Amino acid sequence: MKSFFTSLALALVAAPLAVADSSHRCAAAAPVAPVVDFEPRIEALLSKLTLDEKIDLFGGDETGFNSRGVARLGIPPIRMSDGPVGVRVGASTAFPVSLNMAATWDIGLIQRFGVALGEETRAKGKDAILGPCVGIGRFPIGGRNFEAFGEDSFLSARMAVSVIQGVQSRRVIATVKHFACNDQEWERTNNDVLIDERTLHETHLVPFEAAVKEGGVWMVMSAYNSVNGQHMSENARLLTGVLKHEWGFQGLVVSDWVSVYSAVGAANNGLDIEMPQPMWFGEKLREAVRAGTVPVSVIDDKVRRHLRVRFLAGLFENPAPPPDESVVRSEAHRTLAREMAVESLVLLKNDGILPLAKTAVKSVAVVGPNAAVARAGGGGSSGISPWVSVSPFAGLRAALGNGAAIATAPGVELDNFKAVPLPSSFLYTPDGKSEGLRGEYFSTPDFAGKPAFVRVDKGVDFDFKGGGPGGGIGGSNYSIRWTGTFTPTETRAYDFAIGSDDGSWLYLDDKLIADNGGSHGEIYVPARAELEAGHSYRIRIDYQQGGGDASMRLGWKDPKDVTKVPTIAEAVAIARTAEIAVLCVGYTAAQESEGVDLNDIELIRGQDQLVQEVLAANPNTIVVVYGGVPVSVKPWLARARAVVAALYPGQEGGTALASLLLGERNFSGKLPFSYIQDKAESPGMLHYRDPDRKVPYAEGVFVGYKYYDAHHVEPLFPFGFGLSYTSFAYSNLVAKANGAKSFEVSVTVTNRGKVAGDEIVQLYVEPPQSRLPRPLRELKGFARVGLVPGESKTVTIPLSERSFSYYDPTQPGWVSEPGTYVIQAAASSRDLRLATTVTLP
Task: Give the bridge partners for 839, in sequence order.
Answer: 820
Q: For residue 482, give the 3-state DSSP assignment.
A: strand
| Prior bond of 573 cis (ω within 30°) | no
How many angstroms separate the CA atoms of 563 and 511, rounded?
29
Task: Give the bridge partners for 483, in sequence order.
Answer: 438, 540
Confidence of residue 13 (pLDDT cuts 50, 70, 90): very low
pLDDT at 26: 36
Residue 407 included in any domain: yes
Mean of the pLDDT values across residues 689-694? 92
- Which of 277-290 are b and which e, b meaning 16 or more Cβ less than 10 Å from the residue's Cβ? bbbbbbebbbebbe
pLDDT at 35: 56
Q: Does the pLDDT of residue 16 top 70, yes or no?
A: no
Q: Does the pLDDT of residue 596 top 80, yes or no?
A: yes
Residue 248 included in any domain: yes
Counting the structural domains of the chain, the total is 4
In this structure, the strands spanning 478-486 and 437-442 are antiparallel
pLDDT at 18: 43
Q: Does the pLDDT of residue 241 top 80, yes or no?
A: yes
Catalytic residue positions? 256
| Prior bond of 333 cis (ω within 30°) | no
Q: Using CA atoms in the order 336, 339, 345, 347, what is the torsion angle rounded to 10 degrees?
A: 180
Q: Does the pLDDT of residue 14 top 70, yes or no?
A: no
Same-domain status, 530 and 581: no
For 22-44, the pLDDT digits (tens) are 333 334 455 444 457 899 999 99
Same-domain status, 601 and 684: yes
pTM of the prediction? Answer: 0.93
Phi (first) and psi of residue 413, to 5 degrees = -115, 125
For 345-403, the pLDDT digits (tens) are 999 999 999 999 999 999 999 999 999 999 999 998 999 999 999 999 999 999 999 98
Same-domain status, 523 and 599: no
- Please report how the helices 39-48 and 296-312 are oriented relative to each other, as an axis angle in degrees rounded to 10: 130
Mean of the pLDDT values across residues 589-599? 91
The CA R_g of the chain, rounded to the nearest whole Å, is 27
CATH number at residue 388: 3.40.50.1700
pLDDT at 466: 62
Same-domain status, 527 and 575: no
pLDDT at 89: 95
Q: How many CA atoms lie within 13 A of 312 on its CB side?
A: 31
Average model confidence (pLDDT) across the chain: 93
Mean of the pLDDT values across residues 764-789? 97
Share of the chain above pLDDT 90, in %: 88
Confidence of residue 11 (pLDDT cuts 50, 70, 90): very low
CATH number at residue 532: 2.60.120.380
Same-domain status, 530 and 574: no
Mean of the pLDDT values across residues 619-647? 98
**Between these two residues, 87 and 11, which has the higher pLDDT value?**
87
Q: How far is CA 418 from CA 421, 496, 614, in A?
A: 10, 10, 28
Residue 266 included in any domain: yes
* E-only strand ranges, 490-559: 492-501, 503-508, 511-516, 523-531, 537-545, 551-557
Same-domain status, 572 and 695: yes
For 459-469, the pLDDT digits (tens) are 999 998 766 89
Residue 335 included in any domain: yes
Confidence of residue 561 (pLDDT cuts 50, 70, 90): confident
pLDDT at 308: 97
Q: Does the pLDDT of residue 1 top 60, yes or no?
A: no
| Residue 552: closest CA among 512, 506, 592 | 506
Q: List the domain range (segments joined by +) for residue 47.
A: 41-72+219-312
pLDDT at 4: 39
| Residue 584: closest CA among 601, 603, 602, 598 | 603
**DSSP result, 567-613:** -HHHHHHHHHHSSEEEEEEE--TTTSBTTB--S-SS--TTHHHHHHH
Residue 403 included in any domain: yes
Residue 260 included in any domain: yes
Residue 269 included in any domain: yes
Q: Does the pLDDT of residue 819 top 50, yes or no?
A: yes
Name the domain boundary from 284, 312, 340.
312
- Please report how the helices 4-11 and 296-312 are oriented relative to each other, as an axis angle in degrees rounded to 10: 40
pLDDT at 523: 85
Q: Work out the burial of residue 48: count CB atoms within 10 Å of its CB; fewer than 13 is exposed, 13-18 middle, 19 or more buried.
A: exposed
Same-domain status, 755 and 658: no
Q: How far is CA 358 from CA 354, 402, 407, in A?
A: 11, 11, 16
Q: Work out the burial of residue 99: count CB atoms within 10 Å of its CB; fewer than 13 is exposed, 13-18 middle, 19 or more buried.
A: buried
Task: Give the bridge partners for 492, in sequence order.
Answer: 531
pLDDT at 208: 98
For 536-547, the pLDDT digits (tens) are 999 999 999 987
Name the domain boundary from 517, 539, 557.
557
Q: Using CA atoms in the order 40, 42, 48, 52, what is the torsion angle rounded to 10 degrees?
A: -160
Residue 753 CB partners (closer than 8 Å, separation 6+): 724, 725, 726, 727, 789
Name the domain boundary from 710, 740, 770.
710
How many angstroms separate the CA atoms of 163 and 8, rounded?
15
CATH number at residue 246: 3.20.20.300
Residue 607 CB partners (closer than 8 Å, separation 6+): 368, 369, 411, 412, 414, 585, 586
pLDDT at 477: 87
Same-domain status, 699 and 656: yes
For 269-298, the pLDDT digits (tens) are 999 999 999 999 999 999 999 999 999 999
Same-domain status, 530 and 432: yes
Same-domain status, 536 and 605: no
Mean of the pLDDT values across residues 96-100? 98
pLDDT at 139: 95
Same-domain status, 688 and 756: no
For 53-91, the pLDDT digits (tens) are 999 999 999 999 999 999 999 999 999 999 999 999 999
pLDDT at 59: 96
Same-domain status, 387 and 456: no
Single-letter code of the amino acid located at 145: N
H-run or E-run covering 111: helix 107-123
CATH number at residue 781: 2.60.40.10
Residue 670 included in any domain: yes
Mean of the pLDDT values across residues 764-778? 97
